[in-house]
Structure 1
């Protein structure tokens, strides 16, 4: 393993290897994000100026208006990173364009708490100016971590390019049915609300699916659907068995990206 590679043993005893994102790629992503934030800040300031120009707001205390400005700008600048990293798989727009993402040190996606911690500590990493402290830490740390990463237990890695192997039986079945993630629109936050137990249940179902006898397939499909569909806001009782099968197979495609590790 080179300095730029990291091996991770997951709680499921799966060995993963990632390429760490260094100072160059992280700086490029930050520059892109700062361009976007500059635009957002300008829009926010223009809107605030428009709102505060009303007669009622002109009567308000200058200190109160200044506080509103500070709060709004903090929410925009901090909220951008938190929302993107938590709801969009550890990637801001800049990170997505560069091809890097934030993950937990155990290889799983960034959690709600870790997203909050690593981004709140941006305030410290920015000291004394222009992310100087963060840049120094990333350069010298063995895993290219800034202070926020150390506290949150996160790392920044390059997106893995997975070499496609021959398709499994369930993948062939999904292709035969013409199913894809576009078949069922599910919000990212809904997928993230499903846990490891849900994934293991669904994975076991899909592994058995191609070889099940018809009567057993119907029974198992209804059992799994009754457990999972309510968690994504769907009613299982109003759908045919074919529809339930298709929904579960598409849900498998969504969850596979989050939970299955291809070596």
Structure 2
């Protein structure tokens, strides 16, 4: 099946082109994820039998209903929670999707939300009917945007990622960040905190960085302080005790971190 592209216009009137992930790439990613889960499930079952019997001689043991029920619930939660947690906390990518180079996003081009991730993965139960994800595979194959039922209800699509080509010429702000020796690793932000920043915060940070070198020093100082008060409160980062240069550096690093999330190239 030939690769297909879809164009999306964001609420900020930015046109984006995405290459849809078809049945082949999605199946390959799913198989990898299932192999990982199968290994985890086997380890859990072995641990259960060892806990119940104290030895690997499984045939002679007596099954206790409560530990068995707990084990079954644990396996269910891991198998469902794996996709939900990875897709939400890892930018729409499970381990399998990362390896294959695809990710889940919302139809408007934004990152996956908690609700859309929950709905999408809750409906895996329906997509897996009657067996071996037959209904889901059928939907992906015939739908114009390669959607399964979970994607239809959650308003999501699965797209290919392309690594951004290294630009021969860095932008002015990128040169400034490089000159200061700043990297994403210089600012540790919890995933839950990063998720509290949306498109509005990204637009503010991007506008700040685009004007950073053109602003008069006094105006830049005031804008830096105002922006730090807004952003760092949400991120749980203390503003007190930081000088102006440290605040600037923190915002520039935050720009690098959010750029991967909001300005990734597909």
- Specify the SS of the correspondent of 1:18: strand
Aligned counterpart, 1:96: 98
What is the aligned partner in structure 2 of residue 177 from structure 1?
Answer: 180
Deviations 1:179-236 (A, max 9, x none): 1101112223321111222212212211121112222222221111111112111111
CA contact (8 A) 2:161 2:265 kept: no
Where in structure 1 are there 5+ consecutive unaligned residues?
Answer: 55-59
Q: How many residues align?
A: 257
TM-score by length of 1: 0.91
Structure 1 pair 41–254 and aligned structure 2 pair: CA distance change class (3 A) = same
**Corresponding residue for 1:229?**
232
Q: Please report how far the alpha carbon of residue 97 of structure 1 lies from its aligned counterpart in structure 2 after TM superposition.
A: 0.2
Output aligned runs, 1:1-263, within 5 Å: 4-53=4-53, 62-165=64-167, 166-260=169-263
C-alpha distance in 2 between matches for 1:142 and 1:192: 30
1:51, distance to aligned residue in structure 2 (A): 4.1
SS class of match (1:199): helix
Distance in 1, matches of 2:256 and 2:188, equals 12
Alpha-carbon offset, residue 124 of structure 1: 1.2
State the Cα deviation string for residues 46-97 of structure 1 (Å, max 9, x = none): 333344458xxxxx99443332222111101000000100000000000000
Answer whether contact 2:29 2:99 (CA < 8 A) is retained.
yes
Contact 1:5–1:18 (Cα < 8 Å) also in 2: yes
Report the TM-score, using the length of structure 2 for normalisation: 0.90
Unmatched runs of 5 consecutive residues or more in structure 2: 55-61
Task: Report if aligned partners of 2:163, 2:265 keep a CA contact under 8 Å in 1.
Answer: no
- SS of residue in 2 equivalent to 1:210: coil
Query: What is the CA–CA distance in structure 1 between the aligned matches of 2:48 and 2:114, rounded to whole Å?
Result: 29
User: In 2, Cα distance between the equivalents of 1:48 and 1:62?
Assistant: 11
Do the aligned partners of 1:33 and 1:93 also contact (CA within 8 Å) in 2?
yes
Q: Secondary structure at the match of 1:193?
A: coil
Rounded to whole Å, the distance in 2 between the matches of 1:6 and 1:174 is 33
Deviations 1:141-170 (A, max 9, x none): 111111111111111100034344432211
Give the C-alpha shift of residue 32 in structure 1. Answer: 0.6
CA distance in 1, matches of 2:52, 2:218: 67
Residue 178 of structure 1 aligns to a residue in which SS? coil
